[in-house]
Amino acid sequence: MSHASSAPNPLLAGWATPFEVPPFGEIEVGHFAPAFEQALAGHRVEIAAVAGSAEVPTFANTIEALERAGRTLGRISDMFSNLASANTSEEIEAVERDISPKLAVHFSRLYLDEALFRRVDDLFRRRQTLDLSAEQARVLERYHTAFRRAGAHLPREAKERLAAISERLASLGTLFRQNILADEQDYTLVLQGEDDLAGLPDDLRAAAREAAEARGMPGQAVITLSRSNVEPFLQFSTRRDLREKVFRAFIARGDRGGETDNKALIAEIVALRAERARLLGYPSFAHFRLDDCMAKTPQAVRDLLGEVWRLARERALLDREALQKLIQEEGGNFRLAPWDWRYYAEKLRKARHDVDESQIKPYLQLDRVIEAAFYTATQLFGLSFHRRDDVQVWHPDVRVWEVKGPDGRHAGLFFGDYYARPSKHGGAWMTTLRDQERLCGDVHPLVVNIMNFNKATDGAPSLLSYDDARTLFHEFGHALHALLSDVTYPVVSGTSVLTDWVELPSQLYEHWFERPEVLRRFALHYKTGEPMPEDLLRRVLAARTFNQGFATVEYVASALVDLEFHSLPQADRLDVADFEAKTLAQIGMPEEIAMRHRSPHFEHVFASGGYASAYYSYMWSEVLDADAFRAFEEKGDIFDPATARKLRDHVYAAGGSRDPETLYIAFRGRLPTPDALLARRGLAEFMPAGET
């Protein structure tokens, strides 16, 4: 991608491409700044027309007008955001640093516009007399809530300060995520010879060679700070000294001192969020954030996390004793450390369940797992997937499928970007290049899944760990939430839902990956094509709850630290490292386990506001998804058609068109209890008799 030429800006023209996909091949970095400038100006004109209308407010001339406005800005922003995350460069990062605060200012002005709020507030007060559909009533409520939570009802001085806070937070969030990527790009552990490669399976060795090739080091092998590199290295490397080096580098992302250190950014982010909450009348940012979630209050979150923490910690401490015993039996004279846990846990899994990752991986080819995800969607929802090679993409590794509904008609496009590369941020996520809606015609979605799997070399298939395969199903569950969306208004389309509801469709979808009906069909050996032997399948499924104490502790610790940062009524002179350490000490964090996301690289929470105070939502949604899958188990058919129809109608297709509790009750007939979650994580045995 180069700088813009003098040719017309393709971002501002109609896209005469298949399915009106962004013309990635024609876009140059220099196109973005002028395109954003023109799109922002156009949106301001549209908003001013709505706010300045002399007509009596109606749903059509106010809410629908707002929904129709800013289309050009939206499509440019969606495309740019995807590039900035999945195929970035120094030039794109410079544009990102410039445009992020401008976009924040723009939308602050929109939601702080007094005249616009008066129109929305007038409609909201008269909502019972407007003859609105259920979806329209929900859309009006969401707009009114957005204006109130932005501070549109506050005095001018407060609104000006809120706008300044939003602008600064946008800049800080961009710097935060760019610092993490810089640290990840800066680090490689070069593996020198067979001694450094000891214990590593063939696929990880191949991935290490591929990672070296991508970094201009042909013929060598390196471990990067991609989680898909780090975790298997910690799991298999027999070199304890190298495991320690990789672990320490991994947890130090954003915490290395110098220009890329994120601790000062976190302190300012937390302080600004606390100030925003006070201006809006809340005792803390956590109270503000959770007021618009299913949980409602920080105490409700603490109640859930606290109970799960107690049970998970008890389980983890028992496993810690077993791992320490293994070390001693092998003649080790050292205490178990965080860089040892995965290595010895793999040995313990072999001892307890007679299964290890090296036995499982040959049966989990990336392409077969993709097929399994598609097959499950076909069985549940009647979707079909057809590979397209005529659609432009942002990187040669990206694959595209046309998705068709049960009637054979076009339903959307699905983009899969599966492999790690230096230009891509770490992690796995789902996003869209266009959302489903019917307000401006029958608009079909363009849905993206981003992963960071290791890419095999020499034409060999890419093999996934069990957790990686489950992650693919998780992100595809998010994709289905967008692909199956069946609403009129963009503001409630697809994944535009409350944060602690958004993980239900994704986590629920993971259940199908772990079913023998699916694994028997798609867990085929990459060399022989033979299905996973029944005995191995039985042992794999029996080991599903193995090490769940560790996994739950590392997750819940991150969620609790997030919550406590944002429960501070103010955060002047916050010492981030000290606060994190004291919070972990208060909950009794085992020193042998690290947080899944330490604060200096916790992008979910600090790179944007999406999961701030809300990282707990994965656990909240897991209460829902564990109970929801029981609806199929109770029918004795994991693809039961009647249950699948209800799931589609009330979860995947409904978007944010109704309140989540209403949607869940419509699907299940009642609200869930946590017992299914505890059973799934293998923690139910630690509950006192009589408790649920």
Indicate which residues carry an active-site annotation. 475
Residue 451, SS3?
Answer: strand
For residue 615, which of 607, 600, 604 has the smallest C-alpha distance? 604
Within 10 A of 185 (CB to CB), how many other CB atoms are there?
Answer: 13
Residues 6+ positions from 20 with CB-CB distance below 8 Å: 14, 434
What is the end-to-end Cα distance of the chain in Å, rounded?
56
In the structure encoding, which two tokens stand for residue 29, read together?
């970095």
Q: Which residues of 22-61 are buried (b: 16+ CB within 10 A; e: fewer)?
A: bebebbbbbbbeebbebbbebbbebbeebbebeeebbbeb
Q: What is the dihedral of CA 224, 229, 235, 237, to 10 degrees?
A: -50
Give the single-character DSSP code of 650. I
Please check whether residue 216 is in contact with residue 231, taking contact to mean a CB–CB distance below 8 angstroms: no
Residue corresponding to tokens 């989680």: 227
Residue corresponding to tokens 């000290």: 578
In the structure encoding, which two tokens stand for residue 135, read together?
């979806």
Residue 4, SS3?
Answer: coil
Burial of 281 (0-12, 13-18, 19+ CB in 10 A): exposed
In the structure encoding, which two tokens stand for residue 240, read together?
């304890």
Q: What is the dihedral of CA 610, 413, 515, 597, to 10 degrees?
A: -20
* Angstrom distance (rounded) from CA 550 to CA 342: 9
In the structure encoding, which two tokens stand for residue 323, read together?
């791992």
* Angstrom distance (rounded) from CA 511 to CA 601: 29
Q: Which residues of 322-332 are buried (b: 16+ CB within 10 A; e: fewer)?
A: ebbebbeeeee
In the structure encoding, which two tokens stand for residue 132, read together?
């609105």
Angle in degrees, CA 78, 84, 85, rounded to 5: 95
Residue 354, SS3?
Answer: coil
* Angstrom distance (rounded) from CA 286 to CA 450: 29
Pairing of strands 429-434, 222-223: unpaired
Which parts of 399-533 fold into alpha helices (H)? 466-483, 499-502, 504-513, 516-522
In the structure encoding, which two tokens stand for residue 452, read together?
């960071």
Cross-strand bridge partners of residue 412: 403
Q: How many CA atoms lie within 13 A of 33 on its CB side?
A: 12
* Angstrom distance (rounded) from CA 290 to CA 297: 6
